[in-house]
């Protein structure tokens, strides 16, 4: 093959992974949730957390893209089950946010005293990385992207396409880093009352997203059962 063919494959896989994952992750929509779950943390602590979450998002999506389908096949788990289980986690996280108290200056001060480095390390992956920043929909999409990239006769071409997708994942992780790191500055323009309303609205949208993920997975499972029943009846 010509070098232009590899360059075209690299660019296509880069754009494919980017266009598939960014709308699902939507870092600007999950940034307010990040602020709510790190209430009381200092600006420096949030910057450190944003870097850890971005790194976790990249590693999680990279692993899902490379070996996700293999792991699911090994354990006999379908993507529909991943959507249902992960969607329930999203629903649970959103429900806690919706029912949390608004707090105030005294509560923020208490949380600032208790928000230690150990607490930040515990929350960096769950729930801040999964399922908030990178939910089951993103993982399912990454698995789908990886399956399509492996589907090629040439090993060199498959490696080229995977390299392009990895560049796309790096840009996705960078967008998460920027959105989370500067979320406080963006929400500061709304003021205290506007921020409280925006956080509640974001939590409600997250709840709806979780219900949608569960619905998609459950619908796929039900349709599969109906198809099997129809085949047995023939």
User: Could you report the per-residue pLDDT of 175-212, keeping only the tens digit for each?
Assistant: 999 999 998 887 777 676 776 777 777 778 778 877 88
- Triad 174, 179, 184: Cα angle to 5°: 145
Phi-psi region of 39 (alpha: psi -120 to 50; beta: other; left: phi over 0): beta
User: Which of 205, 43, 44 is CA-nearest to residue 135?
Assistant: 205
pTM over 0.85: no
User: Could you report the per-residue pLDDT of 31-64, keeping only the tens digit for each?
Assistant: 888 888 887 788 888 899 999 999 999 999 999 9
Contact by Cβ (8 Å): 31, 179? yes
pLDDT (0 to 100) of residue 166: 94
pLDDT at position 26 over 50: yes
């Amino acid at each position: 093959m010509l070098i232009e063919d590899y360059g075209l494959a690299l660019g296509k896989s880069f754009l494919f992974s980017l266009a598939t994952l960014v709308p699902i992750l939507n870092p600007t929509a999950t940034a307010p949730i990040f602020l709510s779950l790190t209430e009381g943390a200092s600006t420096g602590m949030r910057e450190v957390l944003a870097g850890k979450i971005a790194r976790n998002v990249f590693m999680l999506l990279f692993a899902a893209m490379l070996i996700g389908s293999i792991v699911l096949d090994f354990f006999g788990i379908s993507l529909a089950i991943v959507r249902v289980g992960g969607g329930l986690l999203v629903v649970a996280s959103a429900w806690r946010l919706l029912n949390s108290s608004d707090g105030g200056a005294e509560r923020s001060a208490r949380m600032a005293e208790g928000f230690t480095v150990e607490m930040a390390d515990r929350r960096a992956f769950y729930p801040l990385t999964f399922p908030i920043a990178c939910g089951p929909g993103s993982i399912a999409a990454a698995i789908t992207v990886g399956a399509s990239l492996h589907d090629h006769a040439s090993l060199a071409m498959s490696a080229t396409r995977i390299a392009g997708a990895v560049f796309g994942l790096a840009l996705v992780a960078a967008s998460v880093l920027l959105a989370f790191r500067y979320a406080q500055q963006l929400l500061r323009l709304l003021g205290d009352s506007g921020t409280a309303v925006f956080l509640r609205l974001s939590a409600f949208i997250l709840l709806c997203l979780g219900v949608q993920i569960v619905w998609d997975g459950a619908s796929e499972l039900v349709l599969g059962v109906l198809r099997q029943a129809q085949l047995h009846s023939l």
